[in-house]
Amino acid sequence: MRICTARCSRCLNCVSQCFFNAISTASHDLVIDEALCTDCGMCRDSCPMDAISDEMHDDPVETAEQRGICLYLTATAGRLSEGSLEVLGAGLRLKEHNRQRLTAFLLGEYVHEAAEEAIRCGADEVWMAEHSRLTPYAVDLHAGLVTDWLKELGPSIVLSGDRSLERSVMGYAAVRLHTGLCADCIQAAIDPQHEGLVVTRTAFGGQLMADIHIPRHRPQMATLKEGAFRPPPVYQPSGGLIVNRTDDISGLNSVYELLESRKIERLRNDFANAQIIVAVGRGIGCAEQLDSVYELADLLDARIGATRAVVESGWLDVTHQIGQSGTIVRPQLYIACGISGALQHTIGMDQADRVIAINSDRDAPIFQYADYGIVGDVRQVLPRLSERIRERRAARSRNGMD
């Protein structure tokens, strides 16, 4: 809700009507406290001057000020995080369509090198705040600063990755800016028909794919599923500038107090550099059958992936999960063992260079995603496959000795 002060007669009808005490009379101009306002509309309905409106309806969607793409990026060990590189890649591709200005936000304890990296990748501008108080658990400082900067820049599109801090910051900022946020998107494009950002995400365990847009609110905000977007293809320096906005946090302190910190093993299995992944579904029958999977994976120096069903059955831990609710992978070879091929899973493996699928059901959807299909019992096929690989190796090394 917003009060048009030019129309307001200061009758205070709205103040008495407001259930949430959200309207302040402290200054001459009445002000609605966004933190308390629930947009219930009681004030609007009570105003004899029609001075109160739901800002959603009277703001033109795309004004001259509301332009540009903002990216909320993060750095790890001084470098842009992998997810942030993908966000930058997605932002650059959107920019190709509408030539909007691309501004990256980088906040953290040590980010200036990552800021330079973002410029080298093609960002037009980087707004940077580098301070020891901007720890990754200081969600409030990050969220507050990002929200203020977005208000200042008024961009049309805001993108970020999907990790814990980014989800906190984007969730907070979207509400403070009264706009929509699409989570975990696997595609993002400018759609001329809908004159804006159209994103694709899955829901209902990946059984449903939805194209979503934000028609009447700006900015259009989205978090991007890690692994679903390509990093910037080549360095394309734009001669961009780094704007140091560290002063913006002077006087601000986080409410979060760190008592202990410990680095943990990556919650996401290290699939990023995996050339071969052997992935298992419930079709392998039982957890004991994992032995033949381990055997093959050892032979191929492969990582082991799993479907959500396998993880939920407790056969493998969540770090192995591949798919919409797990990791998106791009190995050179993907061997799908006893995986039926639900969309929830195939989203995570569809970009593999080569796919071999083994399943006893000839009609399993996984075969639609595979280059080679083996209709058979995983329990028999996998040991055969391992055996053939050992034999080939033996033959090769014999030949090598000749």
Binds other proteins (CB under 8 A): choice among 12, 203, 243, 286? 203
C-beta closer to other proteins: residue 49 or 318: 318
Task: For residue 281, give the DSSP letter.
Answer: -
- Of residues 30 through 49, those in contact with other proteins by CB under 8 A are 35, 38-42, 44-45
Written as one letter, the residue type at 242 is: I
Binds other proteins (CB under 8 A): choice among 28, 99, 362, 398? 362
C-beta closer to other proteins: residue 105 or 172: 172
C-beta closer to other proteins: residue 194 or 236: 194
Binds other proteins (CB under 8 A): choice among 100, 160, 269, 325? 325
State the pairing for strand pair 2-3/52-53: antiparallel
Q: Do 133 and 251 meet the contact criterion of CB atoms below 8 Å apart?
A: no
Which span sits near other proteins by CB under 8 A: 103-111, 120-128, 279-287, 379-387? Answer: 379-387
Binds other proteins (CB under 8 A): choice among 240, 324, 338, 339? 324
Binding pattern to other proteins, positions 335-354, x when CB under 8 A? -------xxx-xx--x--xx
Binding pattern to other proteins, positions 246-275, x when CB under 8 A? ---------xxxxxxxxxx-xxx------x
From the number of C-beta atoms within 10 Å of its C-beta (0-12, 13-18, 19+), residue 16 rates as exposed
Binds other proteins (CB under 8 A): choice among 23, 296, 339, 374? 374
Burial 340-358 (b: 16+ CB within 10 A, else e): bbbbbbbbbbeebeebbbb
For the chain, the residue count is 402
Binds other proteins (CB under 8 A): choice among 11, 209, 252, 272? 209
C-beta closer to other proteins: residue 235 or 371: 371
Which span sits near other proteins by CB under 8 A: 64-72, 92-100, 122-130, 205-213? Answer: 205-213
- Of residues 293 through 312, those in contact with other proteins by CB under 8 A are 300-301
Residue 378: CB minimum distance to other proteins, A = 12
Q: What are phi and psi of 329, to 5 degrees?
A: -120, 160
- Of residues 145 through 164, those in contact with other proteins by CB under 8 A are 163-164
Per DSSP, what are the bridge partners of residue 222?
159, 182
DSSP string of 320-368, one letter each residue: GBBSTTSB----SEEEEES----HHHHHHHTT-SEEEEEES-TT-GGGG
Judged by CB under 8 A, does residue 176 bind other proteins?
A: yes
Q: Do 40 and 19 meet the contact criterion of CB atoms below 8 Å apart?
A: yes
Judged by CB under 8 A, does residue 6 bind other proteins?
A: no
C-beta closer to other proteins: residue 306 or 357: 357
DSSP string of 114-173, one letter each residue: HHHHHHHHT-SEEEEEE-TT--TT-HHHHHHHHHHHHHHH--SEEEE--SHHHHHHHHHH
Binding pattern to other proteins, positions 102-141, x when CB under 8 A? ----------------------------------xx-xx-
Judged by CB under 8 A, does residue 376 bind other proteins?
A: yes
Residue 73: CB minimum distance to other proteins, A = 15
Size of the site for other proteins (CB under 8 A): 108
C-beta closer to other proteins: residue 63 or 368: 368
State the pairing for strand pair 102-108/125-130: parallel
In terms of Cα–Cα distance, which of 271, 248, 249 is closest to 138?
249
Q: Do 331 and 353 meet the contact criterion of CB atoms below 8 Å apart?
A: yes
The CA distance from 219 to 216, in Å, is 9
Binds other proteins (CB under 8 A): choice among 24, 244, 313, 368? 368
C-beta closer to other proteins: residue 99 or 273: 273
Judged by CB under 8 A, does residue 212 bind other proteins?
A: yes
In terms of Cα–Cα distance, which of 156, 221, 231, 150 is closest to 183?
221
- Of residues 50 through 79, those in contact with other proteins by CB under 8 A are 54, 56, 76
